[in-house]
Amino acid sequence: MTNTAETPANDEEDDWEREPDPSDSLRTFGAVAQALREHAGLSRAEFAEIVRFSKHTVESVERGRRMPDEAYVERGEGATGNTGALREGAKYLTRRDPGIAAWFRQWARLEKKATILCTYECRLVPGLLQSRGYAQTAFENRLPPLSDGSVEAQLTARLERQKIIRAHPNTEFSFIIEEHVIRRRLGGDDVAREQLDLLLELAALRNVCIQIMPIDTEVHAGLDGPISVLELPDGKRLAYSEGQENGRLIADPKEVAVLHQRYATLRSQALNPLDSVGLLNRIRGAL
């Protein structure tokens, strides 16, 4: 289950909070939840008041459009007679997109809606820019080791996700990558060549800007780690923070503003796009 934000006094639900493609388990859970509510003689509005979520959220859960969080399930149990059905059913809830980490799915969905998408990476090449060989190597280096099936599922999902760059030519994609990430020969020389060739190919697109943060820089606004920020068509800004085996969608305007400020500063500190392409070409030529 996800820690879906409560909306106690608002019948509107942000579209980015919805599940992109409901799974059978979500639909089944929603149908059971609706049947229990109706059996208890409660309208959606009455049930919403009891569980302290909006009527719209209740409708979304019952239609299998939204993953309920633990608070929703527990309060729903109390409102429908504590049968245990909701609590037990929640254990088997799943989403689609098995190749995408659970904590990242919401952000991956938002990427498809964004008008501006900005990514700073200091660990590895950003997922949207990874070549097949680089992505496969990254998955094969995971610990504990992934099964062959999991590697293939995650590789397929990543390559599918990358299609957004060419499918959304009006979206601005900005990437800042640390020079040491580019110089690391993850997977060997052949993989490194393939990766550099792809970076140069993507950098030539009008909607893509790739900048390299040089190793010898004396100032750096991104010392706290990776940054992902985006802007939606309505002007709403969101951010994403990822760590070891977890990630967090950031919607608080103050937090988001700080990350946008840091990213803007990083752009001024990194090599400009032309010089970045020149550095990529020199590294590629040395392989």
Instruction: Give the contacts of 16 (CB within 8 A, at least 6 positions apart).
Output: 106, 109, 110, 113, 232, 238
What whole-number distance in Å separates Cα of residue 269 and Cα of residue 126?
19
- pLDDT in single tens digits along all 287 residues of the chain: 333 333 333 334 454 455 444 567 788 888 999 999 999 999 999 999 999 999 988 998 998 878 788 889 999 999 999 999 999 888 776 555 555 665 577 888 899 999 999 999 999 999 999 999 999 999 999 999 989 988 998 899 899 999 999 999 999 999 999 999 999 999 999 999 999 999 999 999 999 999 999 999 999 999 999 999 999 999 999 999 988 877 888 999 999 999 999 999 999 999 999 999 999 999 999 99
Q: What per-residue confidence (pLDDT) applies to 2?
A: 38
Is the full-model pTM beyond 0.75? no
The reply to whether CATH 3.40.50 applies to domain 102-285 is no
Residues 82-94 pLDDT 10s: 999 999 888 776 5
User: What interhelical angle do 132-140 and 148-162 show, nearest 10?
Assistant: 140
CB distance 54 to 9 below 8 Å: yes
Instruction: Give the contacts of 170 (CB within 8 A, at least 6 positions apart).
Output: 115, 207
SS3 112: coil
Q: What per-residue confidence (pLDDT) applies to 95?
A: 53
What whole-number distance in Å separates Cα of residue 186 and Cα of residue 167?
28
| Buried-exposed string 188-209: b where 16+ CB fall within 10 A, e elsewhere | eeebbbbbbebbeebbeeeebb
Q: What per-residue confidence (pLDDT) applies to 94?
A: 57
Domain ranges for the chain, please list them. Answer: 15-90, 102-285
Q: Mention the CATH class of domain 15-90.
A: mainly alpha
Q: What per-residue confidence (pLDDT) applies to 33?
A: 93
Q: What per-residue confidence (pLDDT) applies to 100?
A: 63
Q: What per-residue confidence (pLDDT) applies to 27?
A: 84
Q: What per-residue confidence (pLDDT) applies to 98?
A: 52
